[in-house]
Amino acid sequence: MKVTETFLKGCYVIEPKIFNDKRGYFFESFNKKEFEEKTGLKIDFIQDNEALSNKGVLRGLHFQKGEFAQSKLVRVIKGKIQDVVVDLRKESETFGKYYSIILSEENKKQLFIPKGFAHGYLVLEDETIFAYKCDSFYNPVSESGIYFNDRQLDINWLLNEEELILSERDKNLAILNQNRVL
């Protein structure tokens, strides 16, 4: 696997080695030993999640606070998304900066998101299946989020706002500079 750190320290793009032949393809979606060797990080994923969404669905920007903060390894099994992460680590030089990447069934790229980041994604194709691993269990008391269209973040979403489908919860998330976010 090829592992490349983004400009957000600790956030990595992972490109698996894909073996194609007339039968189809095979790739190793995660190898703990190789991941730890290439990133220098120790990780213990304990929960896998999967979501099916149609084009225009925007989920996020979500994160968990405190002892339930999560690192995630995200990927697309079917379809295509714009994946976005925001650095919320107050001591970081890139606090409040975002990174965006296209993840798809074609490119098979994955994104490792460390603790201290908000995460969201915009679905770009119908019937997209998104999957991710977490190193901490979901805890509703520690969940939080940032409004997807926060002007301070100035995220360049790939669809127009009129095309977006958001949950009621995501429509009412705080903006970054509101104390209740962090």
Sorted by where each starts, the structural domains of the chain and their CATH numbers stand as 44-171 (2.60.120.10)
Q: How far is CA 59 from the centre of its chain?
A: 10
Cis amide prior to 61 (ω within 30 degrees): yes
Cα–Cα dist 156/100, whole Å: 8
Residue type for position 46: I
Is 157 in contact with 148 (CB distance < 8 Å)? Answer: yes
Per-10-residue mean pLDDT of the chain, 182 residues long, equals 96 95 93 95 95 97 94 98 96 95 97 97 98 95 94 96 96 78 54
pLDDT, position 179: 46
Cα–Cα dist 11/125, whole Å: 25
pLDDT, position 182: 56
Point out the residues that are catalytic.
62, 132
What is the model's pTM? 0.93
